[in-house]
Chain A
Amino acid sequence: MTSKESILAAIQANKPALLPLPEQPEFPYDSNLTEQYRQSLSLNGGEAREAKSLKEVTNHLQEHFRNSQMIVSLSEKVAGNFDVNMADDPHELEHAEVAILEGEWGVAENAAIWLPEEKLHHRALPFIAQHLIVLLKKDRLLGNMHEVYARINVEGSGYGVFIAGPSKTADIEQSLVIGAHGPRSMTVFLLD
């Protein structure tokens, strides 16, 4: 008997009588989504800004990353200075200073932004970059996780991730430190 067969046989011998699978719940969410998103991201160590125009994004780049050698933008709306198509292998992104991505959905309750791999070019990009900027249209904000799972197709992408803040840790005496392995900051621009 293979291990698979013996495990399955043991389950059949030991499992209880079939219990029903409950229906998926719907929990309505009635807060101001933009304001709630801003608060949630702040609690996770990131910063959300409402932006009237893309000018505010470019101003932000000018202000904080003027001298950066490697800004990787996957948004057609904002220019970077490194063409991601030049990187065949994710290791070539090792020195990425800033990654600029476009989010698909945002969740107000916990600040998570859904990024399927089609929006990442390389799966490693939002992790290996020193700083992360995400652009999200306000009409892509949802209330909670149930709402977002009802709209996305997780197996449609080989990989997809909810990112809800910068890389962080509290493993040393529970002191919060931002920038464990991945981005040292996450800024989300909420666009009209």
Chain B
Amino acid sequence: MKPAPTHAAAAEEFLKDSERSHWHDETLWHVRSKRDVSAQRIPEWEQLRTLASQIKDHVLSNLDNLLLQFEKNAQANGIEVLWAKDAQEHNDHVLRILEENQVRQLVKSKSILTEECGLNHFLEDKGYDVVDTDLGERIIQFNKQVPSHIVMPAIHLKKKEIGDIFHKHLGTEAGADDPKYLTEAARQHLRQKFIQAHAAITGVNFGIAETGGFVVCTNEGNADMGTHLADIHIACMGIEKLIPRAADLGVYLRLLARSATGQSITNYTSHFHRPRKGKKMYLILVDNGRTKQLGREDFRNSLKCIRCGACMNTCPIYRRSSGFSYNSTVPGPIGSILSPGMDLNKHSTLPFASTLCGSCSDVCPVKINIHEQLYKWRQVITKEGPPQTSKRWAMRFGGQVMSKPRLFDLMGKMARKSLSISPRGFVYNSFNAWGKHRELPEVPKETFKDWYRTNRNDDK
């Protein structure tokens, strides 16, 4: 199998279009700024973050009991609960439900879990037409892409491109790129899909153990349009999405949308506890690597994530390299600590796609120590991951030089001399990754050590 491209190689691809990458960077920074304004309006913001983190600490330390409590209450509410060890079992459950209920038309609202499980491809292979109803997801579905951001799935596309996509798939006027006009076209198109759908698939933002219900948050209202018209509701939930009490929602809902986009709350926050009379509601609880991550003490906290995307918007690497460069369902800093746990070989370059500046940890509403975990993954990957021969030799060479002061001085002298006389092409070439977009600093005439010797001789 062809190895996945490294993050750096994929990022280089994105950076070729400098106008787009600049726009991407600035747009996400703007979202981050809105988050700041919104967070600063809440005097108890830091207390809420601590509480949100502590509640999840409890959940992770009591997950088995809470899941059992959740299942029991959900069943009492008339929800059919299914368990899935992995993506395959999750997809098989969905297929069986669709077959049993003879569903042909289905709509889906945003669910990162179903992306993780590759549900759309799986169902399409079986002949189903899966209609994603979140506007951003519908755009990328037409364009045969995956989301590049967990909250803003089509943030990598410009309106001109979306106009072209809609012209091709929805028959909008050629060249039309007004967001209002394009959204209206999608509205008309998707309304028909909602009216016709027999089943609606949604994700889950929060499962409530004490009540056996779950909460779904959207701004568009697409999850509700789908579920309230269809006969079958299938909700797909990662086992870590549990909270103990309904009242805990007060903490998380104040944090989630503010962290994501700077809104005070999503315009729709729907609480599902029982199916409509005569209709069916299914809930699939998915592990798919989560229990393994629970066992990794250093990385366990990553399971607290509520998928707000704040760490992506603030990350200087994400903003300048786009979601696709991560080649992982969840990109950005949080994806870089979750994905190596799923497949260390495939995702071995992600923990290095960071400056370790710590901004991700600072904005995280559940206080995940993201940058520390990135650093820890680097250590794991260096020991257990795929061999990085050039890096290993460079480190070994650097270690040798730096542990011997005389050798260090000599090498320094040689480098200064050779850099000042070498032709440019000799220094800036494919071996010098650092110099690709940067100029090396000017070579100093003397070292600090030389300067000290000359100027502070009398102290000796």
Question: In the complex, A124 Cα to B270 Cα: how many Å?
Answer: 12
8 Å CB contact of B246 from A12, A122, A155: A155
Q: Mark B259-271, 1 if CB is under 8 A from A, else 0.
A: 0010111111111
CB contacts (< 8 Å) of A33 on chain B: these are none
Would you call B51 and A124 a contact (CB within 8 A)? no
Known interface pairs A171-B134, A174-B31, A182-B225; A164-B264 also in contact (CB < 8 Å): yes
Q: Is the CB–CB distance between A169 and B229 below 8 Å?
A: no
User: Least Cβ distance of A79 to chain B in Å?
Assistant: 25
State how many angstroms separate the Cβ of A153 from the closest Cβ of chain B.
Answer: 8
In the complex, whether A6 has a CB less than 8 A from a CB of chain B is: yes
State how many angstroms separate the Cβ of A16 from the closest Cβ of chain B. 5
A17 an interface residue at 8 Å Cβ cutoff?
Answer: yes
Contacts of A162 in B (CB 8 A): 253, 265, 268-269
Contact status B264-A109, CB under 8 Å: yes
- In the complex, residue of chain A having the shortest beta-carbon distance to the beta carbon of B253: A145
Given contacts A3-B83, A157-B273, contact A172 B182 (CB under 8 A): yes
Minimum CB–CB distance from A91 to chain B (whole Å) comes to 6
Q: A18 touching B267 by the CB < 8 A rule?
A: no
Task: Decide: A159 and B219 in contact? CB cutoff 8 A.
Answer: no
Binds A, one of B152-160, B369-377, B425-433: B152-160
Question: Which size class do B's interface residues fall under?
Answer: 35 or more
Q: Are B269 and A161 in contact (CB under 8 A)?
A: yes
Bound Cα distance from A182 to B133, whole angstroms: 12
| A-B pairs with beta carbons under 8 A, tally | 253
With A7-B291, A169-B183, A182-B225 known as contacts, the answer to whether A149 contacts B64 (CB < 8 A) is no
Task: Provide the residues of chain A in CB contact with B250, threshold 8 Å.
Answer: 24, 144-146, 148-149
How many Å from the CB of B96 to the closest CB on chain A?
13
The chain A residue sitting closest to B136, CB to CB, is A171
Digitize B50-64: 1 where CB-to-A-CB distance is under 8 Å, 0 elsewhere: 010011011011111
Q: A16-B60, A167-B267 are in contact. Are A180 and B135 (CB under 8 A)?
A: yes
Decide if A14 is an interface residue (CB 8 Å cutoff): yes
Q: Is the CB of A40 within 8 A of B212?
A: no
Contact yes or no, A13 B83, CB < 8 A? no
The answer to whether the Cβ of B418 comes within 8 Å of any Cβ in the partner chain is no
Q: Is the CB of A110 within 8 A of B265?
A: yes
Interface size class of chain A, counting residues whose CB lies under 8 Å from the partner chain: 35 or more
What does DSSP make chain A's interface, helix, strand, loop or mixed? Answer: loop
In the bound complex, what is the Cα–Cα distance between A165 and B297 (angstroms)? 42
Q: B220 — which chain A residues lie within 8 A by C-beta? A: 167-169, 180-182
User: By DSSP majority rule, is chain B's interface helix, strand, loop, or mixed?
Assistant: helix
Whether the pair A146, B247 counts as a contact (CB closer than 8 A) is: yes
**Minimal beta-carbon separation of A159 from chain B (angstroms):** 6
Expressed in whole angstroms, the minimum distance between the Cβ of B282 and any Cβ of chain A is 15
Closest Cβ of chain A to B236, distance in Å, is 15
CB-based contact A24/B228 at 8 Å: no
Contact A19 B61 (CB under 8 A): yes
Do A159 and B85 touch across chains, with their CB atoms under 8 A apart?
no
Judging by beta carbons under 8 Å apart, are A7 and B85 in contact? Answer: yes
B contact residues around A154 at 8 Å (CB): 208, 211, 213, 246, 271, 273
Chain A, 1-30, CB within 8 A of any chain B CB = 2-4, 6-8, 10-22, 24-25, 27
Residue of chain B at shortest CB distance from A7: B287
A175 to B182 Cα, complex, angstroms: 11
Q: Known contacts A3-B89, A15-B61, A91-B229; is A149 also within 8 Å of B247 by CB?
A: yes
Task: Say whether B273 contacts A159, CB under 8 Å.
Answer: yes
CB-CB contacts of A28-69 with B at 8 A, as 1s and 0s?
A: 000000000000100111000000000000000000000000
Please, which residues of chain A bring their CB within 8 A of the CB of B227? 123
Q: Is A163 an interface residue (CB 8 A)?
A: yes
Do B135 and A172 have beta carbons less than 8 Å apart? yes
Q: Is B308 an interface residue (CB 8 A)?
A: no
Collect the chain A residues with CB atoms within 8 Å of residue B136's CB.
169, 171
In the complex formed, the residue of A with least CB distance to B243 is A21
Interface residue ranges, B against A (CB under 8 Å): 27, 30-31, 44, 47-48, 51, 54-55, 57-58, 60-64, 67-68, 73, 77, 83-85, 89, 133-136, 139, 152-155, 158-159, 162, 179-180, 182-184, 186-187, 190-191, 194-195, 208, 211-213, 219-222, 224-225, 227-229, 239, 244-251, 253-254, 261, 263-276, 285, 287, 291-292, 294-295, 297, 300
